[in-house]
Structure 1
Amino acid sequence: MKPTSTAITGTTDPSKAAGGAREEKETDTPGGVSRRRLLRTAGAAGAGGLALGAAGGAVAAAAGGDPAPTALASVGATAVAFHGPHQPGITTPLQAHGHLAAFDLAPGAGRKEAAGLMRRWSALATELMAGEPAGTGDTGVALDAGPSSLTLTFGFGHGFFDRTGLTDRRPGGLDPLPLFSADRLDPRRSNGDLWVQIGADDGLVAFHALRAVQRAAGDAARVRWQMTGFNRSPGATARPMTTRNLMGQVDGTNNPRPSDPDFTRRIFVPPAASPGAPDAWLAGGSYAVVRRIRMLLDDWEGLDPREQERVIGRRRADGAPLTGGTETTPLDLHRLGPDGLPVIPANAHARISAPEQNSGAAMLRRPFSYHDGIGPDGTPDAGLLFVCWQADPLRGFVPVQRKLDRGDALSPFVRHEASGLFAVPGGAGRGEYVGQRLLES
């Protein structure tokens, strides 16, 4: 569940709260009230985040006078900082709505055009995440909404470095992922020169950001593929809980946490051995593995619930291991049942993917569910837009996926249909743009 005030859910100065982070000229909405004035009023509502007036932060115009700004609802008022040591959208709590998109640089576009594009996208992200309109050509889709925990995250694919003449700066972690036996990958929906992840707690705010990013690409880049996802909305549960996927399973229990002493080492790329190293520009960044995983829901839902639990290795009701306890209780991988067999089966998904079964390999899973309609045969095209973050995919995603590929009980119920791997630069400081250390090196 998101914070209920204008607290920043980022890694930079908490004093840069929504409505106070930017000093540019206010932009008025058609009703005469700027979004910044709305956000300032939301901040004045106090830490309780109370929604005054119309729900969702709509402006109530007073007859015959200037409309009085009303406070945004807590979901709308929450802002995430764009600037900082890491890009937003990595450790930011999962949002309710998401878009993933990959772009290819246009024919003839190179390093200069890529730098201009990243400069435009970074400026755009700064405005949108602060609840500002997207420049003078704003479409008005999100005029009456606050930032709603909006994040924009940018990454570079393998081909980006060839197109920009920076092949010698391509990091080893971007070596293509191996093919796995269960892959059924569509190349038209895989990879790409540039990658954008958008998340927000309001669907219109998320779409507005996607459209603004596409428009800002101009002649420099073309959309290669785009996918839309969702998660549970803030406040939908009585208390903050790990999300569930479309199979009904609690999903993300074993995620590393920022409070873990080795979190930074596992998730973020460390500084290079020397400032002149080819991959020095990636310090503070991360790698994102993106997979579109279709869930064969008809087959899955035909299983007895107890058999589903044996496939996963956890109870469906609360995510606890089959060996007992609560969701956060460690798996007891050595406990045997009355039949002499492991209580958590040898091929259970939770067992095979556990860090202790993979030499400590860990990744931060931050997915969205998706549903792209129902086919003529009645089969839903639904599943998971899997996104995982790690400092090195050869030590994070790859070894775990290889083990899953060899004997995961869940494999007959999922199909990997698209894939991508992207190097995500560290965060931009004020006055900088994402990727500047690479593109201006």
Structure 2
Amino acid sequence: MSKRTEQAAGPRTAGPETTGATPATPQTSLELSRRRLLGTVGAAGAAGLVVGGAGAAIGVSATEPEQDAAKSVTTIGSTEVAFRPARARHQAGITTPLQATGHLVAFDLAPGAGRKEAAALLRRWSRTAEELMAGRAPAADTGVALDAGPSSLTVTFGFGHSFFGRTGLTARRPVQLDPLPDFSADALDPKRSNGDLWVQIGADDALVAFHALRALQKDAADSARLRWQMNGFNRTPGATARPMTARNLMGQLDGTNNPKPSDKDFDERIFVGRDAGQEWMRGGSYAVVRRIRMLLDDWEKRSRHEQERVIGRRKDDGAPLTGGSETTPMRLDATGPDGLPVIPSNAHARIAAPESNQGAAMLRRPFSFHDGYREDGAPDAGLLFVCWQADPLRAFTQVQRKLDRGDALSPFLRHEASGLFAVPPAAEPGGYVGRPLLEG
């Protein structure tokens, strides 16, 4: 497997990017408590660590389940992800195996705040994120996550289109950040879309994730104001007997055909290269964020056979309707006795496949959400879709345009919020995320 990405093969208990929890001598009692191993006792269960997606192509795994290392129940809290990875330029939270809980948050710079204030904020945020990801409590800590280890915490920072105007850096705004086009299925709430700054938080413990959210929100102080926040979840590591693809809220296996770090063109597809024209973004990526509500009441009225034809895969094991196992390539040219395609022409898996989109691919890494019930009693639930790519126009936009023209899954989805963010590379030693842009 490629060593170009941090933690690409799943959490480890030692290594330059992911370290175990053999604690060093603590400097404070808070640090000692924060780094302590979980006291959970029980059989060691393997983690089902996966990623998926919907709406802009349901599903598919960033890691390779058959190669993922098992994570025992007693080590969940002790797993640490490096804020400054030794062998990767990109930030944590992109190829890191998907965590059990997450928060997506956008901020706008406060009135009067500009480049200087933004640099000071990113410096504070980077310092806090590095401490928290290492399992250490920052100054004036709330104590929310006492007794928990790092729990695979990741904090990822990005810049929205409007950030560059607010900081006087319009000339350095990448063309890849041009606003996404309108799609026919969009019913977007502008108050829950876009933003100057974007933060993604993920962890295998909900209190650890909340702790990070609260610390970063306090760090914003008078420099930035919360624009929107979305909370999500995934399967808890250890919930399955072996590493396997997770299911989304529709009950479908959601994680089969993602680009994998072992692919020879993975970096080219997902991370910005030298030839992109913006040196400060080299090694970074672009994140598309969509809140996609699933019409679960309508979906659950469909028979299993109907659901499988909408997706193009079997519901029990994720295999394509043309046969085989979950990882068997789809035979898009296969026809049945009636002469019709075995995988319907409007099946989601067919339309979203790279083969149907001139090879366009993105790394999907979402969270599910459930925000209660609507006035009609339907669940306000679905997917916080997050996908990563080197160029959104050639990846997300190309695929979504095709889905927009006839995806059988579209009637069961509502796209309610959207954002596009430039996520720069990881902070260099002694620096902070975004320093080459803000001080270059």
Same fold, judged at TM 0.5 (above): yes
2:14 paired with 1:7:
yes
Closer/same/farther in 2, CA of residues 15 and 402 from structure 1, 3 Å limit: closer
2:131 paired with 1:130:
no
When the two structures are aligned, how many residues end up with a matched partner?
Answer: 402
**Secondary structure of the corresponding residue to residue 99 of structure 1:** strand
Amino acid at match of 1:138: D
**Secondary structure of the corresponding residue to residue 377 of structure 2:** coil
Query: Distance between the aligned counterparts of 1:89 and 1:207, measured in 2?
Result: 16
1:73 alignment counterpart? 74
Amino acid at match of 2:76: V
TM-score by length of 2: 0.87
**Secondary structure of the corresponding residue to residue 113 of structure 1:** helix
Which structure is larger by alpha-carbon Rg, 1 or 2?
A: 1
1:378 alignment counterpart? 377
Query: Distance between the aligned counterparts of 2:143 and 2:82, measured in 1?
Result: 22
Query: How far off is 1:15 after superposition?
Result: 7.8
Mapping 1:237-386, distance limit 5 Å = 237-272=240-275, 277=277, 279-386=278-385
**Secondary structure of the corresponding residue to residue 339 of structure 2:** coil
TM-score by length of 1: 0.87
Closer/same/farther in 2, CA of residues 410 and 119 from structure 1, 3 Å limit: same
Q: Contact (CA 8 Å) 2:322, 2:342: kept in 1 or not?
A: yes
Query: Distance between the aligned counterparts of 2:330 and 2:41, measured in 1?
Result: 46
2:29 alignment counterpart? 28
Q: Contact (CA 8 Å) 2:20, 2:78: kept in 1 or not?
A: no
Query: Distance between the aligned counterparts of 2:102 and 2:219, measured in 1?
Result: 19
Amino acid at match of 1:271: R
Query: Which residue of the other structure, out of 186, 197, 209, is the alignment partner of 2:212?
Result: 209
Closer/same/farther in 2, CA of residues 328 and 34 from structure 1, 3 Å limit: same
2:197 alignment counterpart? 194
> Which consecutive residues of structure 1, in runs of 5 or more, have no partner in the other structure?
43-49, 56-70
Cα RMSD after superposing both structures: 2.2
Closer/same/farther in 2, CA of residues 16 and 234 from structure 1, 3 Å limit: closer
2:188 alignment counterpart? 185
1:116 alignment counterpart? 120
User: C-alpha offsets along residues 332-390 of structure 1, whole Å, 9 cap, x if unaligned?
Assistant: 00000111100000000000000010000000000000000012321100000000000
Runs of 4+ in 1 over 4 A off after TM superposition: 1-5, 14-20, 50-53
Identity %, equivalent residues: 71
Mapping 1:386-405, distance limit 5 Å = 386-405=385-404
1:423 alignment counterpart? 422
Closer/same/farther in 2, CA of residues 255 and 378 from structure 1, 3 Å limit: same
> Which consecutive residues of structure 2, in runs of 5 or more, have no partner in the other structure?
1-6, 45-71
Query: Distance between the aligned counterparts of 1:15 and 1:253, measured in 2?
Result: 25
Query: Distance between the aligned counterparts of 2:380 and 2:404, measured in 1?
Result: 22
More relative contact order in 1 or in 2 (CA 8 Å, sep 6+)? 2
**Secondary structure of the corresponding residue to residue 131 of structure 2:** helix
Query: How far off is 1:150 after superposition?
Result: 0.4
Closer/same/farther in 2, CA of residues 316 and 211 from structure 1, 3 Å limit: same
**Secondary structure of the corresponding residue to residue 108 of structure 2:** strand
Query: How far off is 1:429 after superposition?
Result: 1.9
User: C-alpha offsets along residues 192-249 of structure 1, whole Å, 9 cap, x if unaligned?
Assistant: 0000000000010011111111001111100000000000000111111112110001
2:110 alignment counterpart? 106
Query: Distance between the aligned counterparts of 2:40 and 2:304, measured in 1?
Result: 41
Closer/same/farther in 2, CA of residues 77 and 377 from structure 1, 3 Å limit: same
Query: Distance between the aligned counterparts of 2:275 and 2:180, measured in 1?
Result: 23
1:143 alignment counterpart? 146
**Secondary structure of the corresponding residue to residue 309 of structure 1:** helix
User: C-alpha offsets along residues 243-279 of structure 1, whole Å, 9 cap, x if unaligned?
Assistant: 2110001112110000000000000000247xxx5x1
Q: Contact (CA 8 Å) 2:293, 2:380: kept in 1 or not?
A: yes
